[in-house]
């Protein structure tokens, strides 16, 4: 494959992957506690890439161009705190400290989230909107009577009596967290430490993915993808023309 075509193709494929991530960000711009993601490309020179695949003697030295090739990419999560919106719902809570997370139990194990738009199940347990149990200091939080509220220190009270307390953990480094469904994360690195909750009652943390920024990113990435696609087509056309001319001369 021509070096120019290879370079344009690798960049175009990277733009396609960026589009997937940006579409997901945009789709979750109204998801409570969602954290946007972005991709960082890993670049190598074309000579390094080809030498690794074919051996250093595969090409003459003069042919080893220094064109940048996108060989891989890594996903990065932006854990910047989203805006806090007051809802008046007694089971809504927003974390005030960055890198703090609520703990929830799922069929796949414990997960971490900043989405504090909780509710009460038919069994009287504090759960997420899709029914996953919220973990308290003493296990699941059971609410067996009306009038429950969550206070600033994460305590769940009914008529002034504590019936549980939200378990909140802190990650010194968030690069050990991997995004899963919606606004949830699973741990792939160091374990967090449990901390005293500091929450804003009757409020939720909004997504940090902006609709306006998301649309601008999508337009920019689409244009970049189109440009790389056209470049690859143009280079391929030039190569075909050159091959055709060589064939005519030899005949």
pLDDT tens digits for 128-182?
999 999 999 989 999 978 889 999 999 999 988 999 999 999 999 999 999 998 7
Radius of gyration of the chain (CA): 26
The predicted structure's pLDDT at residue 43:
58
Q: Which residues lie across from 214 on neighbouring strands?
A: none
In this structure, the number of other CB atoms found within 10 A of the CB of residue 234 comes to 13
Distance of CA 90 to the CA centre of its chain: 29
pLDDT digits (tens, 9 = 90+) for 23-47: 999 999 999 999 999 988 775 654 4
Distance of CA 174 to the CA centre of its chain: 12
Dihedral of the alpha carbons of 199, 205, 208, 214, in degrees to the nearest 10: 180
pLDDT digits (tens, 9 = 90+) for 92-139: 999 999 999 999 999 999 999 999 999 999 999 999 999 999 999 989
Q: Which residue, 94, 66, 195, is CA-closest to 137?
A: 195
Structure tokens, 40: 């960082």
Question: End-to-end distance of the chain based on CA atoms, in angstroms?
Answer: 25
The predicted structure's pLDDT at residue 50:
46
């Amino acid at each position: 494959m021509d070096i120019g075509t290879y370079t344009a193709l690798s960049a175009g494929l990277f733009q396609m992957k960026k589009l997937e991530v940006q579409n997901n960000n945009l789709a979750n711009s109204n998801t409570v506690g969602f954290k946007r993601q972005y991709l960082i490309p890993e670049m190598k020179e074309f000579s390094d890439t080809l030498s690794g695949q074919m051996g250093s003697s595969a090409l003459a030295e003069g042919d080893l161009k220094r064109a940048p090739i996108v060989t891989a990419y890594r996903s990065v999560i932006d854990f910047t705190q989203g805006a806090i919106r007051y809802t008046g719902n007694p089971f809504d809570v927003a974390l005030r400290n960055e890198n703090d997370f609520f703990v929830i139990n799922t069929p796949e194990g414990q997960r971490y989230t900043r989405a504090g738009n909780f509710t009460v199940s038919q069994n009287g347990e504090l759960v997420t909107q899709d029914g996953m149990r919220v973990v308290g200091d003493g296990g699941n939080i059971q609410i067996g009577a009306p009038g429950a509220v969550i206070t600033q220190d994460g305590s769940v009270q009914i008529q002034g009596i504590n019936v549980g307390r939200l378990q909140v953990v802190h990650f010194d480094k968030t690069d050990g967290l991997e995004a899963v469904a919606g606004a949830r994360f699973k741990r792939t690195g160091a374990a967090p430490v449990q901390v005293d909750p500091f929450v804003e009652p009757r409020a939720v943390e909004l997504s940090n993915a902006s609709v306006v920024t998301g649309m601008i990113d999508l337009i920019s990435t689409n244009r970049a993808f189109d440009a790389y696609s056209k470049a690859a087509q143009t280079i391929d056309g030039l190569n075909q023309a050159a091959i055709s001319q060589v064939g005519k001369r030899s005949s």
